[in-house]
A and B are shown apart, each in its own frame.
Chain A
Amino acid sequence: MSVLRDYAGAVAQPTLAGPGEQARYDEVVGPDGSLRPAWKGLAETVVGLTSRDLRRADGDVSAMLADDGVPASWQLDPVPLLIDAATWAPLEVGLAQRGELLNALLVDLYGERRLLREGVVPAAVVLGHAGYTRVVSRPGALDPRPLVLAATDLGRDAQGRWHVLADRTQAPSGLGLTMENRRVTSRVLPELYREAGLHRIEPYFSALRSALLQSAQGDLADPRVVVLSPGSHSATAYDQAFVASALGFPLVQGSDLLVRDGWVMMRAAGGGGRLERVDVILRRVDTAWSDPLELRGDSRLGVAGLVQAVRRGRVRVVNGLGAGVLENPALMAFLPAVCEALLGEQLRLPSVRTWWCGEPDSLDHVLAHSDRLLVRPVDGSPLPATASRREVETRVLAEPHRWVGQERLPLSQAPTWGAEGRTTGRAAAASLSLRTFTLRYGSAYRPLVGGLATVVDGLALDGSAADRPSASKDVWVLKAAPTDPDQGLAEVLPLASAPAVTVLSPRVLEDLFWFGRYAERAEDALRLVLTVHAYVEDYRTRPRSRGGASTEVLRGAVLRLAGAGVDDVDEEFRSLLLDAGREGSPAHALARLREVLQGVRDQFSLDTWRGFGTIDRAGAALHAERHSHQVAESGGRMLTGVLAVHGVTTSMVRDVGWHVLEAGRHLERALQVCHLLAATTTVRRGIDVDREVLVGVLTATESVVTHRRRYRGSVRPAGVLELLLFDTDNPRALAFALDALRVHLAAQPHSTGSTRAERLLADLRETVDGTDVATLVAIGGVGRPHLERFLAQTLRSLDRLAEAVHDVHFAAGPAPRPLAAVATTEVHR
């Protein structure tokens, strides 16, 4: 059954529009029921799509997004939005003009301010907006090209005409997700993709890269560009990391940068507090948070002195600081006049109709029609549609110049799979907005031929839809002729020629260290849990057997790490694998691993996230299936996932970053093996029970085969301890881990051979060397006191060593603070 034909049939029904709803423009079906031009050429393939095809595509989309590490809040509809070349062409011209216009407007607002002086734009429109950044508006500090990358949100009216809903100029997001959407959509609908003949996105990233390099001041041969992120907790962290890694520029945070004598420097790994100059900053931190000295003093996301460096022209910030002033919707009311004044042209792409309440006539209009207008402050969220007329009046009249009323555009609609498709197998008509991107490339503004469509909820339409977690659609702009160059950019060099840049700040090193630690911890904990689970399953019916007793011992090892859990055995396993809040559990280690990875995302290939996709699916399966065998099934798959994540690191360049990751991994391995032995081997419980426990220990440490090879199946404490503590050829052994740790620590820039970390490690290695198995296994009472003491001491030493590693290698020093944040006693003389 053809989904599209069904959809076309339903759209043709006049009942589809609810009572009182405005007619919408349909992106696929014309008023006569025939397909729009973009779809017509693909009619055969498109009409052939059945609900089974789309159901499969929808499932594949979710799996692929998860495999690429896209946050679950990001939804992608499998049905793309198609736009033919003839429809796109005028939009492209309009967007190019808008880019040029907004740049010129920005230059004027922070420079000559002719528009304000001449009253083309009322001064209160601009001066009353929080985005107007006076500290960058100084004589002699003018950036002639403050706008490099802009995003524009567009919607179509009932006649299909495009209107701008919002301009995004502060730090436009979504380009990375646009690329990701394309990767996924092209793979789930390969026939359609092949047949469509659309503009590929890659050349646009090459153009962006080249535009950023050319943004550097002066004539630098090899400018350093960084992407400044507010951190991995940002809502658009994925997008930022995607862009950084696609461009090959380091993803940095404010704490990685500092200003020294007027230049912006990056803390670089390499010893002696090495600093490298930064020439261009692609900023994803809002202006207000960019410099605690001159902007918000409470910001930890910025760089003190950045504004001064910008004013001196020593660093280019993209988009320029203060560019957010253009996001003011009140400007839309004046753009036609601004366009005439600055470019001497007519504005080609209209904005959604906007009334600025600072003008008496407009104020009257907005108050009289507040029920059908979108009433919003110039720099905040709109009033809810449910606000009463009185409420609106009170708010607006208190400061009219800070309010606008905007027409609510009906928006166009397109078939969307979504929840409706999943249940009924039919595509529903959903309204959408389109986010486009415009880049200053060379001397002109070039819109991305493509974009990000967002399925919006008509009630909540506020132009910021793309920032909310709602479904998105890939946008396919078809070529007029198959020979057209992608993005119309025939001359752009492919990204592959770009040299990879790796710069490692202490923050990045620390994240990598913890990456190694959590990956190892997750692996070890999963192996232990799986081992225990197998024992439990095996002896479930024979609790009093020796197997039952050994199971309790091994469970004790889990409890030692993860604390007391749930009484019910099955629930306990589920908790260990699913409860990320339970410290010491595999779930906790996996969650932290993912978190740490967010901060260094640009350092790893996308394959890393495929491992997490496996882990997520295993967790979902365990949620859905309560049967005990699912624990083994899901736990096993989680282990596969962790090993896959780990596997990606084998192809890392052997630089400082790789060494620190390996250092973390081996330190954690040493800790884990000692914990396991301390929980299982220090107390004697009878030869048979002890033997079963030791087999479990060997299983959990993946050493069964090695042990068999060495000791021919005879499982005794001495052999197991020898293998897991002192065997320098066994990668699972303490001694091996310590030797590896020494090598990887030595490769760190701050290592001298005699740092505290290295001294502690040498002492520990010596102690291990000077200990023999015969002493350790010696019996005293019910236990092995020497072993117990040895393990406890080793664990203490390892903890101290871990602290020392932090102090020596990751200490970035205290964070910069505003003077006002230091408790001050004032003395008057």
Chain B
Amino acid sequence: MSALSEVQSWRVRHTTSYAYDDVVTDSIGLGHLVPRSLPWQQVASYAVTTDPEASDVSHDEDHYGNVATYFQITEPHTRLEIEAVSEVTVSDAAPPEDDLGRAWETARPLVSPRLPGAWLATDFALPSAAVAQVPEAAAYAEASFGTGRPLGEAVTDLVARLHADLDYDPTATTVTSTVAEVLASRAGVCQDFAHLALACLRSQGLAARYVSGYLATDPAPGRDRVVGADASHAWVAVWVPSPDGGDGSWLAVDPTNDQRAGTRYVTVAWGRDYGDVAPLKGVIVTEARESTLTVSVDVAPR
């Protein structure tokens, strides 16, 4: 699928800056900015710096095993810059073809709670705050989930349909758009594609998680530039149970670009939806009424 080699190393620089129209005297933030260490992803180094300097910073592992960065800035400021730099090596990881070949009905944790790993996958099979269970999503998904269809094939089909039916349009939605709105407007950004995909997959009883990260967009020779450049990216991963033991594996697919997430995809964090893994959120103390947010993401081969 990918023209790249099976192992790829990247240097990611993700800079976020806020400029306020008044002084901020206290700012507490929480970010998911440091890539996860995974069997298929090694994190060689990472650093998160803020300007002004934070008086309190810590990196902790959150409920889903992501690195959560907490910081507080008590120096009065009108501009805040957060820069996260990391070096990672990603290898291709796909679930065993045998597991992908089983009927999708066998991968529903609520129906088969005794499957190894089903209890963990359950968290991603239930509706979540940003991915409500809506009948429209179930109706849309049904076409891809014929009785007994192999799981891998059904998911690939759904992702292809979403890619075909939805327009990539940053003006169509906002960060709080709901699944029903995205489905009605048939347009959105990667986050909307991902949320809708999750709603479809979960409507069939499958477990699917939201993955936040980066997509390297250097156009390969003879190929078009991929959408999602210069920003955080989001895709989904579907639980693939393995009856032979272990908690199963996850099939990562990108509905925005209709492809499996391969070595171009740097995984930062996963959760039930965007709300669990927002790159940055914060609470500020200020009289400011407006802010200007500048985000720049650079994923370079190394």
Contact = CB atoms under 8 A, between A and B. Distances in A.
B123 A828 contact: no
Contacts of A124: 110, 113, 122, 126
Contacts of B29: 293, 819
A311 B58 CA distance: 12
Nearest to A813: B285
A826 interface: yes
Interface string A804-829: 00000000011111111011111111
B28 A293 contact: yes
A260 interface: yes
A820 to B, nearest CB: 7
A283 B282 CA distance: 23
B119 to A, nearest CB: 4
Given A138-B60, A259-B28, A401-B110, A293 B122 contact: no
B30 interface: yes
A626 interface: no
B290 A817 contact: no
Q: Which of B25, B62, B74 counts the most A-chain CB atoms under 10 A from its CB?
A: B62
Given A311-B60, A401-B110, A828-B230, A819 B284 contact: yes
B63 A305 contact: no
Given A124-B110, A293-B30, A399 B127 contact: yes
A191 B35 CA distance: 72
Given A139-B61, A258-B26, A826-B295, A123 B123 contact: yes
B206 to A, nearest CB: 14
A260 B283 contact: no
Interface in A486-523: none
A390 interface: no
Nearest to B286: A814
Contact of A822 (B20, B28, B231, B280): B20
Contacts of A783: none
B218 to A, nearest CB: 17
A308 B281 CA distance: 14
Interface in B119-176: 119-120, 122-123, 126-127, 133, 175
B72 A305 contact: yes
Nearest to B17: A827
B56 interface: yes
Given A123-B119, A138-B62, A813-B25, A824 B286 contact: no
B276 interface: yes
Interface string B17-37: 010100001101110000000
B72 A259 contact: yes
Interface residues of B, number: 51
A116 B292 CA distance: 45
A816 B285 contact: yes
A822 to B, nearest CB: 5
Interface size range on A against B: 35 or more
A262 B56 contact: yes
Nearest to A260: B74
B281 A818 contact: yes
Contacts of A137: 63
B284 A816 contact: yes
Contact of A297 (B114, B280, B281, B296): B281
A821 B3 CA distance: 43
Given A127-B123, A819-B18, A823-B291, A308 B113 contact: no
Contacts of B122: 123-124, 127
Contacts of B291: 819, 822-825
B65 to A, nearest CB: 9
A260 B25 CA distance: 12
Contacts of A312: 58
Given A127-B126, A399-B133, A401-B110, A822 B290 contact: yes
A119 B113 CA distance: 8
B215 interface: no
Contacts of A816: 26, 28, 283-285
A308 B70 contact: yes
B287 interface: yes
B127 A822 contact: no
Interface in B52-98: 55-56, 58, 60-64, 70, 72, 74
Q: Which of A124, A297, A822 counts the most B-chain CB atoms under 10 A from its CB?
A: A822
A636 interface: no
Contacts of A140: 60-61
A81 to B, nearest CB: 42
Given A816-B284, A824-B292, A304 B28 contact: yes
B294 interface: yes
Contacts of A544: none
A827 B63 CA distance: 32
A372 B58 CA distance: 53
Contact of A829 (B61, B286, B294): B294
A358 interface: yes
Contacts of A398: 133
A634 B118 CA distance: 70
A219 B293 CA distance: 45
B151 to A, nearest CB: 20
A122 interface: yes
Contacts of B114: 119
Q: Which of A259, A261, A308 counts the most B-chain CB atoms under 10 A from its CB?
A: A308
A742 to B, nearest CB: 31
A823 B290 CA distance: 5
A654 interface: no
B302 interface: no
Contacts of A827: 292-295
Contact of B282 (A122, A259, A401, A819): A819
Contacts of B113: 119, 122-124
B299 to A, nearest CB: 14
Interface string A524-544: 000000000000000000000
Interface in B244-302: 276, 280-296
Contacts of B281: 293, 297, 818-820
A305 B290 CA distance: 23
Interface string A269-294: 00000000000000000000000111
A84 B24 CA distance: 62
Contacts of A311: 60
B285 A819 contact: no
A128 interface: yes
Contact of B285 (A117, A814, A825): A814
A826 B289 CA distance: 15
A826 B293 contact: yes
B21 to A, nearest CB: 9
Contacts of A56: none
A304 B70 contact: no
Contacts of B63: 134-135, 137-138
Given A399-B133, A819-B18, A117 B126 contact: no
Interface string A139-150: 111000000000
Q: Which of B64, B72, B74 counts the most A-chain CB atoms under 10 A from its CB?
A: B72
- 3 smallest CB-CB distances across A and B, nearest first, come from A304-B283, A123-B122, A123-B119
Interface of A: 116-117, 119, 122-124, 127-128, 134-135, 137-141, 258-262, 292-294, 297, 304-305, 308, 311-312, 358, 398-399, 401, 813-820, 822-829
Interface of B: 18, 20, 25-26, 28-30, 55-56, 58, 60-64, 70, 72, 74, 109-110, 113-114, 118-120, 122-123, 126-127, 133, 175, 230-231, 276, 280-296
Given A140-B61, A826-B294, A827-B294, 15 more contacts: A124-B126, A134-B276, A138-B60, A260-B72, A297-B281, A312-B58, A399-B127, A399-B133, A813-B285, A816-B285, A819-B29, A820-B281, A822-B289, A828-B230, A829-B296
21 contacts: A117-B119, A119-B113, A123-B113, A123-B122, A123-B123, A127-B122, A127-B123, A261-B74, A262-B72, A293-B283, A308-B58, A401-B126, A815-B285, A817-B285, A817-B286, A819-B282, A819-B283, A820-B175, A826-B295, A827-B292, A828-B296
